[in-house]
Chain A
Amino acid sequence: MTAPASPTKVRGETILSVDNVMKHFPITQGVLFKKHVGAVKAVDGVSFELRRGETLGIVGESGCGKSTLARMLMRLETPTSGTATLEGQDLFKASGSELRRLRRNMQMVMQDPYTSLNPRMTVGDIIGEPFEIHSDAAPKGSRRKRVQELLDLVGLNPEHINRYPHQFSGGQRQRIGIARALALHPEIIVCDEPVSALDVSIQAQVINLLEQLQDELGLSYIFIAHDLSVVRHIADRVAVMYLGKIVEIGTEDEIYERATHPYTQALLSAVPVPDPEVRHERNIIRLTGDVPSPADPPSGCRFRTRCWKAQDICAREEPLTVSRAADPHPSACHFAELRPTVA
């Protein structure tokens, strides 16, 4: 790793530690006397660590719980159980001024730049809004200047401070969302599908901006996306989620070159590669069926209903996300093994 940015902020040290987080949404019946009849286990025991200055990619199909996880980290959703330690404090137990202080250190960029910006506010008001709550971050007189600096930082014209969101294109709006997230000098930014609503030629511009900001400001990203190619490009480490659990986690190389979980392998092989020459050479795994309902997940291994390796033990015993003999990175499969040329 490179030299530390400052004595207390060592690149590579753990900055956020998430332990066994769960979110169960209750399913109720009846109107007046609501009876709990079950729970949608959107996130069901997720643990990971985020290191300073790195990008942790979280991939998975829709309904795997990746966005719920992000919302919990931002405290937009209250977890059912689990802890998340930031600056030595449990993010989920914090309240009042303590929570406000912790939130300052962790900001979010949303997926849809069309609905995540208030159409009645000017860009200056949108980016400056965090200063209303955290008034010590920028004294009143200097706010306008600070907003203009932020606009410049994300590659927008500082003179456009009085424009409204509709006067900007999708890619520019996403830059506004990024500027807003940067306003309070956070160390962690949670990006929930930040480029999936953008056109291909604009995606690359925003990805490059995120990488450049990381280098300049030493940010740590939690980068949630369903596009595995984008995640490979930007992430240092990658966690693969399936039905509310992390099934495999490792460095970008370990996941993309040496995946041992069958779900990761299937996911990777299903990504269309933009090269007609290799399409016949690729060894594509076709998964059958759909993701089961998170209200009633399969017993044992949750992937077993779609897995070609499934045996009796998979229904009986839930595989733990631990290092496997095939490759020393955590993988939740009883039969973890390498598979040649997945990607």
Chain B
Amino acid sequence: MTDAVIQPTPASATPEGGHLLEVRDLHVEFRTHEGVAKVINGVSYHLDAGETLAVLGESGSGKSVTAQAIMGILDSPPAHIRSGQILYQGRDLLTQSEEQRRQVRGKEIAMIFQDALSALNPVFPVGWQIGETLRTREGMSRADARRRAIELMDLVKIPAAERRIGDYPHQFSGGMRQRVMIAMALALNPKVLIADEPTTALDVTVQAQIMDLLADLRQELGMAMILITHDLGVVAGVADRIAVMYAGRIVEHADVRSLYRAPAHPYTKGLLESIPRLDVKGQELATIKGLPPNLMRIPSGCPFHPRCPYVQQVCVDVVPHSLVLGDGRTSECHFAQEVLDDSAR
């Protein structure tokens, strides 16, 4: 079976001026027996060819759920996509059949996960797992798939690939397992790579190796990347643009330099001030008071208002729109300009 047999929609490449990947006003909820959790509440972002977008957020902010919706790997039930569009090269993935989505998955958009040990199958050799997509999707013979798997392992710089191709996941270190997973994701030459916390489980020296590898590969293969993380340090090193998520919304969106220089949303500002820094010996850390909201009972108005130092009555009553601040920056805050002015000082 070749991919030519099933073409999603004929002859519609990326429309002029369109983005490679675009999420439009996505709403996702989880319907559980305890109630409905509103996990994604109107997320929009886009990705152009060759760039890196970082999606930053704490646990429960919806950063991974958005990615899973793009990949079409949400568990539903309980997940339910209420509305929105996910456009890949101008076509809405959400209206496509499962078979059409399967063609996009892996070949156009691939994903790597945080925990390589549980993402890999413990009872098959790594070479077999890397070659699996090649055999089933590309119809390669075992010998060809094996040869290509060795190439891919070389590409992700696993030493002695030919000798290690028959080894099992448990025989690899954490960093090497992550490389195996990256090799699997690259097998079908995707145009977009979604990396969900790719280095969170790794030690700093290994984390630096993996982030370097991802940056090199992106350049070498011309991929676009969505990097999902909670680590402000990692983002600063690799991303072009950054989208900050809170309670299922993108509260701030800017290019990386402007955002770190002067955040325009109180949540981002609070986050940047609350992390201890290696290069600065700090005094007492600033904190964001309170806790992230329960997604079954999201506060009225701006979801950040109970924790926000800028809070006014309007924040309790009115959900803020996305305010455009110039340079294509946006902030979902009624007082975005004031926050920006305060940060810039």
Contacts and interface: CB of A to CB of B under 8 A. Distances in A.
Q: Do A and B come from one complex?
A: yes
Interface of A: 61-62, 169, 171-172, 199-205, 207-208, 211, 226, 228-230, 232-234, 252, 256, 266-268, 270-279, 284, 286-288, 290-291, 343
A268 B278 contact: yes
A248 B211 CA distance: 27
B206 interface: yes
Contact of B260 (A200, A268, A272, A277): A277
Contacts, number: 127
A200 B204 contact: no
Nearest to B56: A200
Contacts of A228: 204, 278
Nearest to B240: A276
Contact of A201 (B260, B261, B274, B282): B274
Given A276-B260, A279-B236, 4 more contacts: A201-B292, A252-B281, A278-B279, A343-B278
Given A201-B270, A201-B292, A273 B233 contact: yes
A276 B52 CA distance: 14
Contacts of B208: 270, 272, 284, 286-287
B163 interface: no
B231 interface: yes
A207 B260 contact: no
Nearest to A63: B203
B305 to A, nearest CB: 15
A272 B270 CA distance: 19
Given A199-B230, A277-B260, A290-B206, A207 B173 contact: no
Interface of B: 58-59, 173-176, 203-209, 211-212, 230-237, 256-257, 260-261, 270-272, 274-279, 281-282, 284-288, 291-292
A291 B174 CA distance: 11
B43 to A, nearest CB: 19
A271 B274 CA distance: 17
B205 A61 contact: yes
A286 B237 contact: no
B287 A229 contact: no
In the complex, which of the residues A234, A256, A270 has the most CB atoms of chain B within 10 Å of its own CB atom?
Answer: A270
Contacts of A287: 205, 208-209
Contacts of A171: 291
Given A274-B232, A274-B236, A275-B236, A200 B271 contact: yes
In the complex, which of the residues B176, B230, B276, B278 has the most CB atoms of chain A within 10 Å of its own CB atom?
Answer: B278
B279 A266 contact: no
A169 B275 contact: no
A103 to B, nearest CB: 31
A270 B202 CA distance: 12
Query: At the interface, is chain B mostly helix, strand, loop or mixed?
Result: helix
A256 B270 CA distance: 25
Given A233-B282, A276-B257, A276-B260, A199 B59 contact: yes
B257 A271 contact: no
A201 B289 CA distance: 8
8 contacts: A61-B204, A199-B292, A200-B271, A201-B271, A228-B204, A233-B277, A274-B236, A291-B173
A128 to B, nearest CB: 25
A208 B284 contact: yes
A277 B207 CA distance: 20
A272 B231 contact: yes
Contacts of A203: 274-275
Contacts of B205: 61, 266-267, 270, 287
B272 A274 contact: yes
Nearest to B232: A274
In the complex, which of the residues A233, A234, A279, A291 has the most CB atoms of chain B within 10 Å of its own CB atom?
Answer: A233
B292 to A, nearest CB: 7
Contacts of B206: 61, 290
Contacts of A277: 257, 260-261
Contacts of B274: 200-201, 203-204
Contact of A276 (B236, B271, B279, B284): B236
Given A201-B271, A276-B256, A62 B204 contact: no
Contact of A272 (B209, B236, B272): B236
B130 to A, nearest CB: 20
In the complex, which of the residues A202, A270, A274, A278 has the most CB atoms of chain B within 10 Å of its own CB atom?
Answer: A274
B58 A201 contact: yes
A273 B231 CA distance: 10
A230 B275 CA distance: 8
A288 B173 CA distance: 13
